[in-house]
Amino acid sequence: MLVLLDSNILFSALISPRGFPARIVRTWQDGRFHLLTCQHQIDEIREASRNPRFRALFQRHQVGAMLNHLYGATVWPEPLPRKHEAADPTDNYLLDLIAAAQPDYAITGDKRSGLLQLDALGRTKILKASTFCTEVLHL
């Protein structure tokens, strides 16, 4: 199973180690599914982690460890074909990555981007973290 995690899921896992996003990340690290990412997402996480507002929520070494783990995931080659527009333009690359790689699932918590309203893109089901945990991972 190939899964794309929105950056907000990865950050949420760092902020709240007992929440659904953290359970998903631990399940990935335990090898129960393959994670899909791209260099754009890795750069986005690196840049966001430098924001003083985020730095107050977690320690730098936590972000460094997460980035190191992401390089062990399936990293889609750049450039992505630019075909989609999300309600939040910073999430356009997620739609493009979903269309190009066709993961089984895309997990997001971002209501502003409009991803959750899609339900699916191609064969990819777009779910909230809680739904993915309970209905797919059975956690």
DSSP letter, residue 38: E
- Relative to beta strand 105-107, strand 2-5 is parallel
* CATH code of the domain in which 86 resides: 3.40.50.1010
Taking only the tens place, the pLDDT of each residue in 66-120 is 999 999 999 999 888 888 777 777 888 999 999 999 999 999 997 766 777 888 9
Give the global pTM: 0.93
Instruction: Find the length of the chain.
Output: 139
Look up the domain containing 63 and give its range. 2-137
**Omega of the bond prior to 79 within 30 degrees of 0, cis?**
yes
Report residue 51 as tokens: 């924001």
Taking only the tens place, the pLDDT of each residue in 1-57 is 999 999 999 999 999 999 999 999 999 999 999 999 999 999 999 999 898 888 788
Measure the CA–CA gap between 126 and 135, rounded to whole angstroms. Answer: 13
Q: How many domains does the chain have?
A: 1
Instruction: Please report how many Cα atoms fall inside a 13 Å half-sphere around the Cα of residue 17, on the Cβ side.
Output: 3
CA-wise closest residue to 71 among 107, 45, 32 = 45
Strands (E), 62-133: 74-76, 105-107, 120-121, 124-127
